[in-house]
Amino acid sequence: MNEKIRFSHHYPKLHGQDSAKLLAVLPLTIDDTTPQALLDYDTTTSDGNKYPLAPGEYLQLIFIGNLRIPFCTIRPQTLQKVIFYQGAIGKVFDVLVMEEKRT
């Protein structure tokens, strides 16, 4: 059974992929020096809104999708997430868009 990575909205960066292999986990600090291009890429939803990221410590997860299109996602960093994601490098995740389940 695959792990699951959940997204609250549709994101263009996903290109409709429904599974992806985790390639790398990188620490990332969001602050006033973070490139706006990275934030725009990662947080812009398909309807043009941006998911807010507060300054702080994050993990940048880098995946290769089932259509062979790479994408990344930025998640808040906790010790539990560092351990989990570092241990999951090379594993396949189901990509779930939770917005689809809302009525």
pLDDT, tens digit, 9 for 90 and up, residues 59-74: 999 999 999 999 999 9
Whether the CB-CB separation of 20 and 56 falls below 8 Å is answered with no
pTM of the complete model: 0.90
Element (H, E) at 21: strand 19-30
Does residue 85 contact residue 3 with C-beta atoms inside 8 Å? no
Which is it for the CA torsion 10, 16, 18, 23, positive or negative?
negative
Q: Is the pLDDT of residue 103 over 50?
A: no
The rounded distance, in Å, linking the Cα atoms of 4 and 52 is 22
More confident position, 100 or 62: 62
